[in-house]
């Protein structure tokens, strides 16, 4: 890490910091309510599907474990 800071000139480091802070400001832009609703609905759907897949994997693993124990 220190080697990188020695190689990169001070002006370039300052430019990277300014660019990163500008990118952070852009990410807080206003978004339509419909987009926010769609994203939260999608997050709920993905969470539901993920929980179902995890439950299936868990059931299969438990089945294999019990079958091996008997």
Q: 13 and 5 in contact (C-beta within 8 Å)?
A: yes
pLDDT of 61 above 70: yes
Each residue's pLDDT tens digit, 19-49: 777 766 656 567 788 887 888 888 888 989 9
Residue 8's pLDDT is what? Answer: 64
pLDDT of 56 above 90: yes
Residues in contact with 5: Cβ distance below 8 Å, sequence separation at least 6, in sequence order: 13
pLDDT of 16 above 70: yes
pLDDT of 17 above 90: no
Residue 32's pLDDT is what? Answer: 80
Residues in contact with 37: Cβ distance below 8 Å, sequence separation at least 6, in sequence order: none
């Amino acid at each position: 890490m220190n080697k990188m800071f020695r190689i990169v000139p001070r002006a370039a480091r300052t430019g990277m910091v300014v660019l990163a802070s500008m990118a952070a400001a852009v990410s807080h832009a206003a978004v339509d309510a419909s987009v926010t609703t769609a994203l939260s609905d999608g997050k709920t759907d993905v969470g539901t599907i993920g929980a179902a897949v995890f439950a299936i994997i868990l059931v299969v693993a438990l089945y294999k474990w019990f079958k091996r124990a008997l």
